[in-house]
Chains A and B, each alone.
Chain A
Amino acid sequence: MEKIVLPEIENFHQIDVYVEQGGYKAAKKAFEQSSDDIIDQVKKSGLRGRGGAAFSAGLKWSFMPKTTDKPKYLCVNGDESEPGSFKDRQIFEDNPHQLIEGTLITCYAIGAKVAYVYIRGEYHKWIKLMQKAINDAYEKGFVGEGMKETFGTNFYCDIYIHKGAGAYICGEESSLMNSLEGKRGYPRIKPPFPAQNGLWGNPTTINNIETITNIPKIIENGWEWFAAIGEPKHPGTILFGVSGHVNKPGIYELPSGTLLTDIIYNYAGGVPGNKKILCVIPGGSSMPPLRGDQIEGVKMDAESLKEVGSAIGTAGIMVMDEDTDLVKVLARITQFYHHESCGLCTPCREGTGWMEKVLNRILNDEGSYGDLDLLISIANNIEGNTICALGEAAAWPVRYMITRFRDYFEERVKKEVMITVKNKVHSMRQTAFPLDDITD
């Protein structure tokens, strides 16, 4: 199977090798067509966002106003902080020029003269690698004013890296823009949407790193070619990041719709010690977990996962074997969302803290049956009542983990059953004797 995003070509990250292999030709091809044509091709290709929501890339671009005096912007989202996700960093490292070329084509399609690549602050090394690639591309006239001469067009654009400083929420598109503007990274209330009112109030498109890296190949090989790869409703390859209890964790680029079991057992080498799988989170920590006995036959694409009650998210697959302490996993996930909640909305700010507290109580064998319903009720009260989707990201794991592993969680709160039995004896005594007789 041909790799689109991470081709196995030695030193492909170097500009000379990239150009030698036909790099930056797709940009030239794109600039010879109208921007509407490009948007149309990307729409028809069926490319869906790889940053979590799987929204049609071409459709998103078409929301950008055509006639406006305002400057337009592109933000390429490399905040990559969702636990279980580590794919964008591989692109920075192995294929930065295809990302740059995709950025050029996207800028052309939406009419942006400036693109910001937002990269999480912890990725010092990958920021340096990316900056080096951008510098090389400037030097060779593939980015910036030099493009006019290189490509023989009037169009040119600049690409800048904006370094984050440690905040998961800045991956959310409106927070990302606030962060870029030099403010606290609070999400914005939508509408207005970024295409109308984005960076500094101007029309802005935000796409994930992997999404943009697909673009040159779509232009080069045609939308029909792309649309025919993998599942028709979510075509192309996906960078699956497998982590946790597998023999060969890592990134596997495979057609969408590849069987989850195939990824785990064939590509990632199965579970150490041939243990059984207790739980799999298929798309990064905020996506609904699946039971080990649910994964047979599950295909890895947005629609198929929706059918089994989960979602593709960032395609970060976390595998947990039969000896995993799921209460601990859920408590840790919830601790993360509590820590990362920006605090704007009460349900998210308070709810994530309560859930963490209750889960820690269960972890310390002090939980009760009631706690399980309490957790679900808190999660339900967060969902749909917040400004940004971090609310759902925090609520989903709790709600689905507990409903799907009810037996497991009930086992862990059983201690309380013993306490109630004790109380029952006590209450029998109360009915057998007049209240006054009880002195203690």
Chain B
Amino acid sequence: MEFKFTQENLERIKQEFKKYPEKQPVVMKALYIGQEQNGYISNEVIKEVANLLEMPSEEVLGVVTFYTMYHQKPMGKYHIQICTNVSCMLRGGYEIWDNVKEKLGIENMEVTEDSIFSLEEVECMGSCGTAPMIAVNEDYYENLSKEKVEEILESLKQTN
């Protein structure tokens, strides 16, 4: 499927050009915007970003695959990220991880059939002092317990 940035998004990308002496540094932001508009980073998004920034597509692809926050396939409407690194683990991170996996019936980086949830085991998110934590899309939820996470999932289901 063809991909073109909306006029508004093109404008956002152009704003970024002002920050750097070259175009290439804008690739990370452009990919974020592409992911936001398209839902995930398809080959067409990569081509469009490459065109815009005068980079080889291969190099843009190289950037996409280097970072964990770019997704090359659609994720759920609510992308649930659960930290299981040490500080979270010491305070129940794995109990939350196991419980959510069971509740949603999916494994790491999978999406539920109704496309509402996807799941990712993430590394330390910088919430060790308020562990355990999960993030839903861009929002952090901290000082959690198994029960609180269940409530969060339930309320997300409701609002959907």
Contacts and interface: CB of A to CB of B under 8 A. Distances in A.
B25 A182 contact: yes
Contact of B129 (A162, A185, A243): A243
Contacts of B89: 328-329, 332
Contacts of A281: 86
B91 to A, nearest CB: 7
B42 interface: no
Interface in A156-204: 160, 162-168, 179-185, 200
A121 B122 CA distance: 13
Contacts of B68: 165-167
Interface stretch (A244-252, A297-305, A386-394): A244-252
Interface string A328-356: 11001100100110100000000000000
Nearest to A339: B123
Interface stretch (B2-10, B28-36, B109-117, B145-153): B28-36
Given A182-B63, A332-B84, A86 B24 contact: no
Contacts of B85: 83, 285, 332, 336
B40 interface: no
Contacts of B21: 71, 200
Interface in B50-71: 53, 55, 59, 62-63, 66-70
A84 B59 CA distance: 33
B86 A83 contact: yes
Interface in B116-144: 122-131, 135, 138-140
Nearest to B70: A165
A344 B66 CA distance: 12
Chain A interface category by residue count:
35 or more
Contacts of B75: none
B128 A165 contact: no
B99 interface: no
Contacts of B138: 124-125
Nearest to A80: B126
Interface string B78-90: 0000001111011
B28 to A, nearest CB: 6
A62 to B, nearest CB: 25
B124 A81 contact: yes
Nearest to A78: B126
B26 to A, nearest CB: 7
A234 interface: no
A214 B28 CA distance: 30
A125 B140 contact: yes
A250 to B, nearest CB: 5
B31 A84 contact: no
Contacts of A236: none
Given A86-B126, A182-B53, 18 more contacts: A83-B85, A84-B86, A84-B128, A120-B126, A162-B25, A163-B29, A164-B28, A165-B69, A165-B70, A166-B70, A182-B27, A182-B28, A182-B63, A185-B67, A241-B128, A244-B128, A249-B130, A329-B86
Interface of A: 71, 80-86, 88-89, 116, 120-125, 160, 162-168, 179-185, 200, 241-245, 249-251, 281, 285, 316, 318, 320, 324, 328-329, 332-333, 336, 339-340, 342
12 contacts: A71-B21, A83-B124, A86-B128, A86-B129, A121-B67, A165-B68, A167-B66, A181-B25, A182-B27, A244-B128, A332-B86, A336-B85
Top 8 nearest A-B pairs (CB, nearest first) are A182-B24, A165-B67, A166-B68, A243-B128, A166-B69, A243-B87, A83-B124, A124-B138
